[in-house]
Structure 1
Amino acid sequence: MTGSPAELRARAQSASAHLPALILSAERLAAMVAPGAHGLRRGGPGEDFWQYRPASQGDTARAIDWRRSARSDSQFVRDREAQTAQAVGLWVSAGQGMAYSGAPDRPTKADRAQLLALALAMVLLRGGEKVGLLGQPARAGRVQADRLAQQIVARRPQGGDGDAPAADHLRPNQRLVILSDFLDDPSWVDDLLARASGMGVTGVLMQVLDPDEEVFPWTGAVLFRSLSGAFRHDSRDAGGLREAYLARLAERRDWLRRRAEGAGWHWGHHRTDHPPAVALSWLYQVLAG
């Protein structure tokens, strides 16, 4: 997407004006989620207790938890949870379709996805994790939250209704959170997950939709037009399309869920009229688990 210097300057000013509100909203949302540091859910050097496990060959007498072992006929080792910071990558679709909102009192899909991404980053950063946008360095610390906010709002809308993350930006063993409406051609998902599997990358696919896109409330004569202008359909009986549309949406979601689960990823979806704290808590929990 290109434009004159004046248009580029206007977009930059609009993004800058939006930044303080986004940061404040994300901070409030992040405060609703317990930001305690979490490890990678495996044994290793750390301070937090993880689990008791039966002693095995190779465990030294010093490693045995004798107090726990005294309560049974077996010997147990007290494992601690590894506290190695994990690198988390975030990607928010900038397709023009994300700018849709079915009502003036609802956020656009892009606004909600940006809010969730930044709030999640804040929670993870408070827990000592390294976070970055996909393709950008993952860093820790409060300053990184401000940097991420600027990068998120500065990303310009793409030319089409949807877009896709660049698979060559993946880094080994990172965790990745993809926020999109997934309404455009989803063929890139297979390519991304295949490459991710080969690099030890796991993560989350989260679909963000406006409620109108979930319930299809239209009836009568309706002109359907995508925000990019690439799609246009003039219907005289929109209500007659509802059943087929809902079936296609369910089919798309099932396809995405099966692809995600087959690659060891998580799949979730969120409506913009639902509380963002619920989606944020879920994202945090699946990354921590």
Structure 2
Amino acid sequence: MPVQTTAQTLRQDADALAAGYPALLAEADRVAALVAAGVHGRRRAGQGETFWQYRPYDPSDSANRIDWRRSARSDAVFVRDTEWEAANSLYIWRDGGPGMDWRSSKSLPTKKDRASVLTLAIASLLTRAGERIAILGESERPRSGRVGYERLAQRLALSEGAQDRLNGKLPAHAKLLLASDFLTDPDGWPQRLAALAARPASGIILHIIDPAEESFPFKGRIEFATPGGWMSPYLLGRAERAREDYRRKFEAHSERLTVTARQLGFTLIRHRTDQPPGPTLTALYQAFERSS
């Protein structure tokens, strides 16, 4: 057999990664459509670079805001408004680590799929309202509108969501949406979030949880394996005996994330994958509204 070229291999890998993209995009659009009826548009005038509208001059406006070319075509004086850019747009990071591909039941989505649906859905809502969205560390610049949303969705579908993307280019005072289970190197997250807050940036932490991670319903002889196989499997003879210790550790992890978010000015929203995405999407949109 001929040896595959690097380009062919990359294409196959990309196709495999994007295989679930149409279904995820359709689900995100469905969830966004359900929520959209209850929210309002955000477009308004303000500081920015993109033209929004002409409006009649007001005495409170400075003279350098007058558009003399437009005013010359009528008897009125007009001001050129640019579109308000809320906190320099929203930058999204969706964790793509091995642990995010896990689910405790075939009836549930993986944590990665649910995080993808929610981040795509909030992007859909915000781009409809004229906001600009980018994938942190991967998008060349924030985009708005349907075309911008489509390009962002394609990039998100292919994104590996590596943690080093958190070091990507980020304007000062940008808004962030970080979606993860925050279980990969949990002790390192306070430092990562502090580094983002120092840039400075703020926004929303979306904590994705599989119900079994919270309740630990396992019984009997169970073998546990780490995502990605970086450690040898661990065998428990009677898993139920470890339940209380596990729950305390998981609650401590969640509480630490809560305290870190509060101290750094992030809004924390939790979502369990056995719950419908609509209420969480509404909470995400409302949190973005409050932070703008």
TM-score if structure 1 supplies the norm length? 0.78
Per-residue deviation, 1:157: 7.0
Aligned position for 1:239: 240
Per-residue deviation, 1:83: 6.5
Select which of 77, 87, 90 maps to 1:88.
90
Structure 1 distance, partners of 2:195, 2:254, is 21
Return 117-126 or 83-92, whichever deviates more: 83-92
Tell me, yes or no, if the aligned pair for 2:143 and 2:149 is still in contact at 8 Å: no
Aligned position for 1:156: 160
Deviations 1:123-150 (A, max 9, x none): 0101111001002211111111111111
Amino acid at match of 1:241: A
Higher helix fraction: Structure 1 or Structure 2? 2
1:133 aligns with 2:135: yes
Report matched runs for 1:72-83 at 5 Å: none
Deviations 1:236-272 (A, max 9, x none): 0110111011101110111011111111111121111
Report matched runs for 1:1-289 at 5 Å: 5=6, 8-34=10-36, 35-38=39-42, 84-86=84-86, 87-135=89-137, 136=139, 137-156=141-160, 163=163, 165-231=165-231, 232-289=233-290
Tell me, yes or no, if the aligned pair for 2:95 and 2:160 is still in contact at 8 Å: no
Structure 2 distance, partners of 1:148, 1:44, is 24
Per-residue deviation, 1:85: 2.2
TM-score if structure 2 supplies the norm length? 0.77
Per-residue deviation, 1:39: 6.5
Return 186-195 or 261-270, whichever deviates more: 186-195
Amino acid at match of 1:143: V
Unaligned runs of 5+ in 2: 54-58, 61-81
Per-residue deviation, 1:7: 5.1
Identity of aligned residues (%): 32
Unaligned runs of 5+ in 1: 48-60, 63-81
Per-residue deviation, 1:227: 2.3
Q: How many aligned positions are there?
A: 251
CA-atom RMSD, angstroms? Answer: 2.9
Tell me, yes or no, if the aligned pair for 1:172 and 1:199 is still in contact at 8 Å: yes
